[in-house]
């Protein structure tokens, strides 16, 4: 199940998002400070954000491991040569920090 998270997620939402893979695939809009999480693909989360009016240039993929509160910044949706990100990993430390802040604010310690 994929959720659009605009305010801190409930424990039940976290549990449902983790069910699929044991961790949570995310797409994070660093401009609006929201995220979509759950499901099997970052692209599915990205599609939910796009259908909610977000702009692709602001959406970055990551994974959240609730048990360890760890973030991984790797996703196919992050490959963006036009934004100087030629890797699956988010390379810009400012973007990484924004993604981390949003994830921690909406998902951490649930």
Alpha carbons within 13 A on the beta-carbon side of 27: 27
Residue 110 is predicted with a pLDDT of 60
- The whole-number mean pLDDT for each consecutive block of 10 residues of the chain, a chain of 110 residues, reads 96 95 98 97 98 98 96 98 96 98 91
pTM (2 decimals)? 0.95
Contact call for residues 13 and 3 (beta carbons, < 8 A): yes
């Amino acid at each position: 199940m994929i959720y659009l998270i605009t305010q801190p997620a409930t424990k039940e939402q976290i549990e449902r998002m983790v069910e699929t893979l044991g961790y949570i695939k995310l797409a994070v809009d660093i401009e609006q400070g929201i995220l979509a999480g759950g499901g099997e693909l970052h692209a599915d989360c990205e599609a939910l954000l796009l259908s909610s009016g977000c702009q692709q240039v602001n959406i970055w993929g990551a994974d959240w491991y609730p048990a360890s509160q760890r973030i991984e910044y790797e996703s196919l949706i992050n490959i963006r040569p036009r934004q100087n990100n030629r890797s699956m990993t988010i390379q810009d430390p400012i973007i990484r920090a924004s993604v981390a802040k949003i994830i921690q604010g909406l998902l951490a310690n649930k």
